[in-house]
Structure 1
Amino acid sequence: MLAGTAVLATGAAVALAAAGGQGSAGPKDDGTAITPVGYKVTPAGQQAQLGNLPLNAVLSPDKSMLLVSNAGQGTQSLQVVDPEDSEVVQTISYKSPAAIFTGLAFSPDGKRAYVSGGGREIIHTYDVVDGRLTEKDPIKLPTKNPDGQAVNMYPAGIAVTPDGERLVVADRLADAVTVVNLGDGSMATTAVGHDPYAVVLADGGNTAYVTNQGGNTVSVVDVSGAAPVQSDSIEVGTHPNAVVADAERDTLYVANGDSDQVSVIDAATRKVTRSIGLAPYRHAPVGSNPDALALSEDGRRLYVANSGNNDIAVVDLKDGKTDGLIPTAWYPTAVIAYDGKLYVTNAKGLGAGPNNGPGYPNPTSTAATSPDQYSGSMMKGTLSTVQLGGGNKQLKRWTRTVVANNGFEQKDSPRASGAVVPRRVGEKSPIKHVIYVVKENRTYDQEFGSLSRGNGDASLNLFGDDSAPNARALEQRFVTLDNFYADAEVSAQGWNWTVAANSNPYSEQGWPANYSGRNHSYPSENGDPAIAPNKDPEHAYIWQRLADKGVGFRNYGFYVNADAAGKATAQDPVLNAGTDRDFGPYNLSCPDSANTFPARGTTCGSPRIEEWKKEFQGYEASGELPAFEMVRLPNDHTSGTKAGMPTPQAYVADNDWALGQLVDEVSHSKFWKSTAIFVTEDDAQNGPDHVDAHRTISQVISPYTQTGRVDSTFYSTASMVRTIELLLGLSPMTQFDAYATPMVNSFTARPRVEAYDAVKPSTDLAAVNTVNSPLAKVSAKQDLTKEDQIDERTFNEAIWKSVRGAGSVMPAPRHDLYGAVPNDQAAELDDDD
């Protein structure tokens, strides 16, 4: 814990106002920003714009070049930065399926550069002349194992031996390490731990230390012989990623991304000698998410990039204590210490802002979505160059800034008048049952922009009273939430946030390649321990925490797939035990509500809401309802304009009719007086919003919220999770839900118990797209078997045109962090996919 930092009483009490105040998320005119969770972003130093999601940076041996890899969802790029003035002097672009990833290395003489190619199964190679790169033929890694089976090596971290003769590669998705002979191109591979990420060399290049990001080990690999051999395995913290070596002291430092620690390893004994804690306050849950390290030039300090806290921790290696914190932009991913400066890459820069310009996401439009309007690619990374000459006074000032930005000094606030949400875990509440409904991908303006209240833009309202009458009526009759944000850009992060209050470095690094056809696995909604954002992956999710406390829950569609018999099944045994196997998993061929919904090519069983109602009516008959229900209603995702599938309006109406029936059923039941229904989207990527691309739909439906008020308090996904935790008696899972403002202002102590009568949408629920629908041919090629496995640009454009008409025109992008983009970057920055 940082010395002198006040304690936030997480798990004991909650504050009623976040540091983000009552403002909105996104970039501000003064070069600062507010993240969707509410943290303020005030980066120190000089700022420069980079490409889409910078993940790593490395200095050349002569310190004349800073190489940056931008591995985002859109056009990826390799950039050369002049460290003297932090100007980008060269950009080499890679449109999908071409790819780069995190691995960066120079030859010892600085005449060659190597960059990992991720899902392309290659290592890019470059000649380096006069501070510029010229790409040469790549090194091709194996695509089959010795048995002839296909493998996905997905090269991540790389390192060149001191003699320049061998390249060591961490094969992220093959759980392996490959050593390449750079002279003749021969190579050999050996198995290591789960999801190896970074490589550092010791013993004159004869020993490689490889962090296994999917587990909690560092593999020790002998690379001196004809073939690499794993000789040892060192247990460290959870999900280790970055590693640096201090050759003079024979010491390694490893960042543990989900246990908020740095493990210190004695290379001679191969033992962990101590762990450096990175918790920002006493008893803080996880969430600092360290993902990059750098040693000071004298080896006395370690700089740790805390991606979750938007800061650099300055650690005194003599005593292992944090001397202070340096504020960064959003989500720092690499840090380099050189010549009295820190160079820090920030993956998300200053955030998104509005995405209501021309080419904004629209599921009914024929025009392509602009990369500057899509939440997955519109945020530009930044480079912070920070002068370190200010001494301890400057560091103290920076530390105070970080503490204020992230609310590390929150104090208990008085109980809100008449609040029914407990202020402390364990306090009583009239709410005994919570139903958590998660849908897919809509913005606030898309459904609520034309409401008679709240901060909406009617010109962006795509789904109105004809296709979303229940959602709109519920938003007005109960509480209108017009300042609520998804903490994610896309579903792969969004589902992690909705059930674990975090998206860890593994998921943040992997989803862009998965979404853009670059051959990475989907880093969410499965049992892979690599994606679980917690010190203990077996206790990372809300259902596991409930099971630990003996609180009953029932799962309808969360984190499940269909088995061979078509039944819903979850990989996690705790979740599977509480799952309704007859409630259909994500499948856009199956209805949320409508028996007239045209199921295509699959056996669907009952509409999802009918299966839920059957169980709910059984609970009412028995008088025993689980304290927590998770209900997934996915069909507002839509299938764009794919011929033979429901129109976007029909999909949204099917989804809306299901939500209306759920509220109708609960409000007419004996459980109504003791129930709160929380509704949100996993993310907001499929639509425009005039406030910020993260602003999304949120509803809190209960007798205690039936007020008709507008609540413009700054809330996010983490706020909703925190409110649910307080009602169910759970402590925060991460720093984010510990920090987030509970949704207490939406509640009143005076309940209104009038029931809600669902309204069937007037839109034709059986309407289907035809071959003449806008972009029908393009939509037909989209993979809709899993959420977000599509080209969002054309998908959203198709939906817009379908609703507004083939000739409708969308408004122009408004996103510019630092003024005009240099000419040599313009093409790269305008062509994100």
Structure 2
Amino acid sequence: MSIRLTTLLLLSAGPLLAQKTYTTLQVPGRAQLCQIDTGRAADGRTTNGRATNGRAVLPSGRYVTPAGQVIRITSDPFGLAVSPDGSRAISLHENAVTVLNLTSGQAIRVPDYARTLRSPVEKGSFIGTAIAPDNQTAYLSNGDRGRVIVFDMATRQVRDSIDLNGNGFTDSFTTDLVLLPAMNELLALDRANLRMVRIDLKTKQVKASVRVGRQPFGLAISPDGKLAFVANVGLYEYPLVPGVTPTNKDTMMLQFPAYGAHSKESREGVTINGRKIPGLGDPLDEQAMSVWTVDLGTNKVVAKHKTGVQIGEMIEEAEVVGGSSPNSVAVGSRYAYVSNATNDNISIIDYKPGGNSAHRQVGTIQLRVDPLLDKHRGMMPFGLTLSRDEKTLYVALLAFNAVAVVDVPTRRVKGLIPTGWGPTRVLLSPDGNTLYVTSARGYGAGPNGGQGFVKPPQGTYIGDVQLGTFQIVPVPTAAQLAAYTKQSLANTYQRVAVVDNGRNPLPPLPGVRQSPIKHIVYITKENRTYDEILGQLPTGKGDSTLARFGNGVTIKARLSIDRAPGGRTDTQVGDSVQIDKADITPNHARIARQFSFSDNFYCDSDASIHGHHWMMGTIPNEWVEAQSAASARFDPFSKAPGRRFPKTIGAIDPEDYNEIGGLWEALERSKVSFFNFGQANEYAGAFEESHNTQFGTAQPVAFPMPDAAFRHTSRNFAGYNTSIPDQFRMDQFEEEFSKMWLNGKGKMPQLLTVQLPNDHGARPRPEAGYPYLHSYMADNDLALGRMLHFLSRTPYWKNMLVIVTEDDPQGGVDHIDAHRSILMMAGPYVKRGHVSSTHGNFGSILKVIYNLLNVPYVNQYDLTASLLSDFFTDKPDFTPYSAVLPDKRVFDPQQAMKPYNKTFNWRAVRQENEMDDPAEQRLEHYQQQNESGN
């Protein structure tokens, strides 16, 4: 992981210090801004005025250089099929398909952006795609609607649809599909009813159903058509909370999760306030994260395999907490190969009858590509395909931006083929000479606003402006593969020598020395880009025209008035209003100027479902990624058990856990103290009302928290819920902090994770103190200012670091990249008035935390992230931060706190005496003068 190279002595102005040089691994783009460079500019020389090198810089700081011919298509192509004659391919996206002519390279999106073509999969799609022997008819999963769509690729029209419901089954959800041409059948998975169905294509009727494991996801058949293999990615079957009905949910839902995952309580159940909450059972149950084999002659399950590394096992002194997530299967004449996303490996199943090894797992292919990386996970194998001679396996590495080429006889990775960002599927042409690869995010997003930006036809929302890629790659020779492999690794990391004299508070690696920073407060917010908050700052690379949440801005809006009884929505449009010179985020600007901020920081996430994973050190797996790109109705009262499925937004579900977990698990292993305020609170079906002030939400289904977080989370801090003011959260935080670590005997933990989510925004609610969208941002700004004001006046401040960021950037626009967002750091050992241009991402933040607290890295993103050393100084400044009020015309904190019978006392917030202190007033005066440039 790291290598100590040399030890020298350095004479300085101070005492004799030991100087050492360490080799770190860091992303290659650590000194660059995000940019899209396809290398295919119209003039052959430049793209957007920059030299073309065919290399895009991603939010992670990694590069992508997709091999072969690259066609940009709609984002998130999680389904892919190639016609038997090799002339066409079709990729499936959220509510859209792309039809590709493999001879001409033409790609047609259905629907087109002009909407002259109607989508064949409106209101739901999910991964399943197949093409009939006529090379023209495609079968498409209609996902949430529980149907299979019959689609004509030539005419781009829907011919028919097949409903999976009936015969006692309701609320079906279609996932993967496979054709059985010899029997004129289609096999389909129904994840809602946990079954595989057989469809007669002549009658368009379901002829049989076979119960399989939990959340069936991937489907494949043996070459002779006799066996089907189902990969189940579900871990638990989640129960409805006893007593909850559609009419009493506001009083009977759980106000806090019942238990931590994989605990005794989660296995057996627990009693809460006299109610017995059912347990989830054994995470090693045969239905959980398994591969089932179905005999198509008898419709019987003939084998059940628990592939990959199992929960509870130990790997290098770390307990496995994440299931293997077997998601895809490729089947040869004797062996089936299963991609275990969480474990970065492939299981081999011998399924041939006869002999001692029939229907047994007979080996594992470890996806090892580099000794410096292999100790850590971070590849996420997803789609895979087998060569015709069954000697080569191609594996799409979702988190590594490459296809692994595996030599089956030796069970070794021969090399890597570079792809776009997030490869999902890989298939071979019928003749076996060409690879087809889809990637979810292609070259990245690029800018989505600002001067000179031209709105593309797909729109400017981050999920629209960002396109996927379809690659056509000739199967490489050994020499080509060697070059591709070298490029793939160079895209991922570089060895960087860091000379360390022991002075920088941020050590270059965990475990090399102690830092004067002993306490970290990690504050995460919601959905904002850099430009819309900090774009006015003259020292950063901003576009002030996009700073709608800046200071001195004009708000133009039509005032919405809620007139319905009981505060329910019956919105009428009132008079147009305009507010000039409004200060929306004075504290953000002041914190950025007084301490340090980055103008080159990016969220790895497009939306919250990714962001809350990344922030807490968990790489989103194929289950998270595919679900984020699909509509899915959650219904806790459905007869279909899979409708009580986990689809997190602000939490991390057991299906999502990485092999050894993320941030919280890493801290616990290293015996580093931590406490959580509000993270991991928003589960599927969460009920969010203004009175849910204990945890921010209530739950109708018994979803567990990560166990480490469950045992170290506040029961009296409201997480995500924009109906609750951030001022209320700040009061909760201050009260609990004071009780536990100021007035009590306890010592502040080494890490606090805190959520302040109201910058997310919601509809205007004038009666609640939020007359404009900007009001939510102002609420958030004041709470952030208050939190830093409070923390900087505690005895812990002298050894504290405060990190402030966003979970995702989807709510705004940015002239550099749609993923560019906020990163600010504050504390005595943070440089004053500094702008960092080091390329940063969530991995960089986690690297700061791990290095400071001497916690080993968890995954390849932590390991290879850029090192943000330039934020820090060895000359501490203990001056506290003083909060300021935003524009009262935009946000009145007293009005927001009125429903809670709380008084907003600004003097108490500022911790002032009845008589103003002249020294503090003088300091405040000069701080304001310096910030204004006077």
The TM-score by the shorter chain falls in which range?
0.7 to 0.9
Q: 1:39 aligns with which of 62, 72, 86?
A: 62
Q: How does 1:16-415 map to 2 (within 5 A)?
A: 17-28=26-37, 29=47, 30=52, 31-71=54-94, 76-88=95-107, 91=110, 93-94=118-119, 97-108=122-133, 110=135, 112-127=137-152, 134-142=157-165, 145=168, 151=171, 153-184=172-203, 185-202=205-222, 204-215=224-235, 216-225=289-298, 228-237=299-308, 238-247=324-333, 250-268=334-352, 269-282=358-371, 283-338=374-429, 339=431, 340-356=433-449, 371-388=458-475, 391-407=477-493, 409-415=494-500
The residue number in structure 2 matching 1:794 is none
Change in Cα spacing, 1:487 to 1:81, as seen in structure 2 (3 Å) is same
Q: State the SS of the aligned residue for 2:667.
A: helix
Paired with 2:707 and 2:720, the residues of 1 have a C-alpha distance of: 19
Q: CA deviation at 1:681?
A: 0.3
Q: CA deviation at 1:119?
A: 1.0
Change in Cα spacing, 1:750 to 1:89, as seen in structure 2 (3 Å) is closer
Q: 1:656 aligns with which of 781, 798, 809?
A: 781
Paired with 1:516 and 1:274, the residues of 2 have a C-alpha distance of: 39
Which residue identity lines up with residue 425 of structure 1 in the other structure?
P
Which residue identity lines up with residue 442 of structure 2 in the other structure?
G
Change in Cα spacing, 1:100 to 1:560, as seen in structure 2 (3 Å) is closer
Paired with 2:468 and 2:595, the residues of 1 have a C-alpha distance of: 39
8 Å contact kept, 1:592–1:633: yes
> Structure 2: which 5+ residue stretches go unaligned?
5-20, 38-46, 112-117, 236-288, 309-323, 353-357, 552-582, 636-642, 699-703, 894-934
Q: CA deviation at 1:554?
A: 1.3
Which residue identity lines up with residue 144 of structure 2 in the other structure?
G
The residue number in structure 1 matching 2:567 is none
Paired with 1:753 and 1:372, the residues of 2 have a C-alpha distance of: 47
Paired with 1:359 and 1:176, the residues of 2 have a C-alpha distance of: 52
- Correspondence 1:457 to 2:543: yes
Q: State the SS of the aligned residue for 1:21.
A: coil
Which residue identity lines up with residue 364 of structure 2 in the other structure?
S
Q: State the SS of the aligned residue for 2:722.
A: coil
Q: State the SS of the aligned residue for 1:486.
A: coil
Change in Cα spacing, 1:349 to 1:420, as seen in structure 2 (3 Å) is same
Paired with 1:203 and 1:505, the residues of 2 have a C-alpha distance of: 26
Change in Cα spacing, 1:686 to 1:53, as seen in structure 2 (3 Å) is same
Paired with 2:471 and 2:492, the residues of 1 have a C-alpha distance of: 19
- Correspondence 1:478 to 2:595: yes
Paired with 2:386 and 2:535, the residues of 1 have a C-alpha distance of: 50
Count of residues in correspondence between the two structures: 723
Q: State the SS of the aligned residue for 1:410.
A: strand
8 Å contact kept, 2:378–2:861: yes
Which residue identity lines up with residue 742 of structure 1 in the other structure?
L
RMSD between aligned alpha carbons?
Answer: 3.0
Change in Cα spacing, 1:357 to 1:752, as seen in structure 2 (3 Å) is closer
Encode CA deviations 1:254-291: one digit per residue, 9 max, x unaligned.
11111111111111212221111113323431111111
The residue number in structure 2 matching 1:567 is 694
Q: State the SS of the aligned residue for 1:15.
A: strand
Which residue identity lines up with residue 387 of structure 1 in the other structure?
P
Change in Cα spacing, 1:384 to 1:467, as seen in structure 2 (3 Å) is same
The residue number in structure 2 matching 1:723 is 848
8 Å contact kept, 1:514–1:522: no
Paired with 1:143 and 1:744, the residues of 2 have a C-alpha distance of: 61
Q: How does 1:633-712 map to 2 (within 5 A)?
A: 633-641=756-764, 644=767, 646=770, 647-712=772-837
Q: State the SS of the aligned residue for 1:258.
A: helix
8 Å contact kept, 1:419–1:749: yes
8 Å contact kept, 2:25–2:495: no
Encode CA deviations 1:688-741: one digit per residue, 9 max, x unaligned.
111000000111111011421111100111111121122222222221111111
Change in Cα spacing, 1:158 to 1:443, as seen in structure 2 (3 Å) is same
Q: How does 1:482-493 map to 2 (within 5 A)?
A: 482-493=599-610
Paired with 1:638 and 1:90, the residues of 2 have a C-alpha distance of: 33
8 Å contact kept, 2:26–2:496: no
Which residue identity lines up with residue 119 of structure 1 in the other structure?
D
Q: 1:577 aligns with which of 682, 704, 711?
A: 711
The residue number in structure 2 matching 1:763 is 888
Q: State the SS of the aligned residue for 1:26.
A: coil
Q: State the SS of the aligned residue for 1:474.
A: helix
Encode CA deviations 1:297-326: one digit per residue, 9 max, x unaligned.
332211111121111111111101111111
Paired with 2:773 and 2:69, the residues of 1 have a C-alpha distance of: 45
> Structure 1: which 5+ residue stretches go unaligned?
1-6, 362-367, 594-606, 769-833
Change in Cα spacing, 1:516 to 1:419, as seen in structure 2 (3 Å) is farther
Encode CA deviations 1:1-35: one digit per residue, 9 max, x unaligned.
xxxxxx6669x977375301311113123342111
The residue number in structure 1 matching 2:669 is 548
The residue number in structure 2 matching 1:440 is 526
Q: State the SS of the aligned residue for 2:464.
A: coil
The residue number in structure 1 matching 2:922 is none
Q: CA deviation at 1:109?
A: 5.5
The residue number in structure 2 matching 1:591 is 725
- Correspondence 1:421 to 2:421: no
Paired with 2:296 and 2:71, the residues of 1 have a C-alpha distance of: 39
Which residue identity lines up with residue 198 of structure 1 in the other structure?
G
Change in Cα spacing, 1:628 to 1:254, as seen in structure 2 (3 Å) is same
Which residue identity lines up with residue 176 of structure 1 in the other structure?
R
TM-score (norm 1): 0.82
Q: State the SS of the aligned residue for 1:476.
A: helix
Change in Cα spacing, 1:21 to 1:585, as seen in structure 2 (3 Å) is closer
Q: CA deviation at 1:96?
A: 7.9
Paired with 1:191 and 1:41, the residues of 2 have a C-alpha distance of: 41
Paired with 1:728 and 1:417, the residues of 2 have a C-alpha distance of: 15
8 Å contact kept, 2:2–2:24: no
Paired with 1:541 and 1:40, the residues of 2 have a C-alpha distance of: 24
Change in Cα spacing, 1:44 to 1:16, as seen in structure 2 (3 Å) is closer
Paired with 2:632 and 2:498, the residues of 1 have a C-alpha distance of: 42
Which residue identity lines up with residue 711 of structure 2 in the other structure?
A
The residue number in structure 2 matching 1:624 is 747
8 Å contact kept, 1:504–1:531: yes
Give aligned-pair identity as a percent.
Answer: 31
Q: State the SS of the aligned residue for 1:550.
A: coil
Q: 1:750 aligns with which of 860, 869, 875?
A: 875
Change in Cα spacing, 1:62 to 1:41, as seen in structure 2 (3 Å) is same
The residue number in structure 2 matching 1:612 is 733
Change in Cα spacing, 1:540 to 1:678, as seen in structure 2 (3 Å) is same
8 Å contact kept, 1:260–1:286: yes
Q: CA deviation at 1:766?
A: 4.7
8 Å contact kept, 2:124–2:631: no
Q: Which of 738-747 and 368-377 deviates more?
A: 368-377
Change in Cα spacing, 1:527 to 1:652, as seen in structure 2 (3 Å) is closer
